[in-house]
């Protein structure tokens, strides 16, 4: 209380009688506090002030009534971040601050400390300047008007000017329509994600298998990534894959380009029966990567014998077959990467010459 003197002010009492000496308008201030609050919070308290003597003798007392608030709690403040240390590019850094709990902004003060002492937070974010490779420790807290202080939250922020790297582990030849691309990315802080581009297409984000956040000592962080890529039907074509990494500070590393050879198409074959002599089958076979072998079967695919390459045209004479036969000629061709195609056509009538035995 200020601006008045006590006539009857019992400790912890609910009514006081005070004397105000004033010949003109005067301000008297009362501070209401809760000495034994039941719980934490902000509570309304009604206060009535009555003037015992005023105006002419016999006039009724004049009173004023107001609702005060007793504050016995503070919010909790926290940085809007998912890890510590948190990386930024060098320069002016801005990090959001959130408060939660009571929401009594009028009765509390959010303070921050970026290394030069506590100060009031302006707005809802901390702003400071980080030099290249500098690390700072920031703190935030809430202070109530009654002196209550929330727990202090601390975060380390660092300026990361180093560029991350990324590479591709896939082999140089792809023979399946769905290619499994894998690789690694590294940074002196944290790798956020990897971007992959196929040919001249746009970059696509690929999440990484990120290890636990690195310590303040900044060891090298390595992360693995994987991508299933549909390469479609390509017959011995080259395909460029561009990979780059983005770190937690937003730095984009240099692109790493790998050229793959993609062959997902089997050789194209056309078999034709030949009357000879000798009777047999002639096969034309072509492939973008090259035909490695052509084989023929006359027993339904149980057994195959190689055809002869005659400068791009393959031939097989039926007389070379000594095993059992059925009424089909089966031809298969394999390219240099193992893709196999097959074709079948009806076999000609085979004549069997049996010995004549006279009885």
Read off the CATH number of the domain in which 128 is found. Answer: 2.60.40.10
Stretch 177-199: mean pLDDT: 86
In the structure, what pLDDT confidence band is assigned to residue 21 with cuts at 50, 70 and 90? confident
323: Cβ–Cβ under 8 A, 6 or more apart, which residues? 298, 299, 303
Residue 355 lies in a domain: no
CATH number at residue 277: 2.60.40.760
Contact call for residues 225 and 184 (beta carbons, < 8 A): yes
Task: Compute the mean pLDDT over every residue in the chain, rounded to the nearest whole number.
Answer: 82
Q: Are residues 272 and 255 in the same domain?
A: no
Residue 38 lies in a domain: yes
Does 187 score more than 90 pLDDT?
no
pLDDT of amino acid 217: 31
Contact call for residues 337 and 175 (beta carbons, < 8 A): yes
Q: Are residues 218 and 274 in the same domain?
A: no
- Helices in 57-188 by DSSP H: which ranges? none
Q: Are residues 39 and 94 in the same domain?
A: no
Q: Are residues 133 and 200 in the same domain?
A: no
Q: Are residues 290 and 231 in the same domain?
A: no
Beta bridge partners of 92: 129
Residue 352 lies in a domain: no
pLDDT of amino acid 218: 35
For 239-298, what is each residue's pLDDT tens digit? 899 999 998 888 899 999 999 889 999 999 999 998 878 889 999 999 999 999 999 999
Q: Are residues 169 and 257 in the same domain?
A: yes
How many Å separate Cα 3 from the centre of its chain?
Answer: 62
Number of domains into which the chain is organized? 4
Residue 147 lies in a domain: yes
Contact call for residues 45 and 69 (beta carbons, < 8 A): yes
d(CA 339, CA 333): 8
Which residue segment(s) compose the domain that 143 sits in?
76-159
Q: Are residues 81 and 64 in the same domain?
A: no
Among 244, 242, 258, which Cα is nearest to 208's? 244
Q: Are residues 121 and 171 in the same domain?
A: no
Beta bridge partners of 49: 64
Whether the full predicted model's pTM is greater than 0.95, yes or no, is: no
Looking at 127, 159, 191, the residue that finishes a domain is 159
């Amino acid at each position: 209380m200020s601006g008045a003197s006590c006539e009857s002010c019992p400790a912890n009492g609910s009514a006081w009688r005070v004397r105000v000496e004033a010949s003109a308008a005067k301000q008297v201030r009362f501070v209401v506090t809760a000495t034994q609050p039941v719980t934490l919070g902000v509570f309304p308290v009604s206060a009535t002030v009555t003037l015992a003597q005023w105006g002419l003798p016999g006039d009724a007392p004049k009173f004023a009534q107001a609702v005060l608030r007793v504050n016995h709690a503070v919010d909790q403040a926290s940085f809007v971040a998912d890890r510590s240390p948190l990386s930024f590019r060098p320069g002016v850094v801005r990090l959001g601050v959130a408060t939660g709990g009571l929401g009594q902004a009028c009765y509390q003060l959010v303070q921050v400390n970026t290394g030069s002492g506590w100060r009031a937070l302006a707005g809802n974010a901390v702003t400071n300047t980080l030099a290249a490779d500098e690390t700072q420790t920031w703190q935030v807290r809430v202070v109530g008007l009654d002196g209550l202080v929330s727990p202090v939250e601390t975060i380390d922020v660092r300026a990361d000017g180093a560029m991350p790297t990324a590479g591709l582990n896939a082999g140089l030849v792809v023979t399946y329509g769905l290619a499994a691309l894998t690789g690694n990315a590294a940074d002196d802080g944290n790798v956020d994600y990897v971007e992959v581009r196929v040919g001249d297409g746009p970059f696509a984000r690929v999440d990484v298998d990120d290890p636990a956040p690195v310590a303040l000592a900044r060891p090298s962080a390595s992360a693995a990534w994987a991508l299933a890529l549909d390469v479609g039907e390509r017959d011995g074509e080259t395909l460029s894959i561009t990979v780059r990494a983005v770190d937690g500070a937003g730095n984009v590393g240099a692109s790493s380009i790998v050229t793959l050879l993609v062959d997902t198409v089997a050789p194209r074959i056309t078999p034709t029966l030949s009357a000879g002599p000798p009777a047999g089958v002639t096969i034309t076979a072509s492939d973008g990567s090259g035909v490695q072998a052509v084989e023929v079967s006359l027993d339904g695919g149980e057994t195959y014998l190689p055809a002869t390459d005659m400068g791009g045209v393959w031939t097989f004479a039926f007389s070379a077959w000594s095993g059992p036969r059925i009424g089909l000629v089966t031809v298969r061709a394999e390219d240099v990467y193992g893709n196999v195609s097959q074709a079948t056509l009806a076999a000609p009538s085979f004549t069997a010459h049996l010995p004549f035995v006279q009885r």
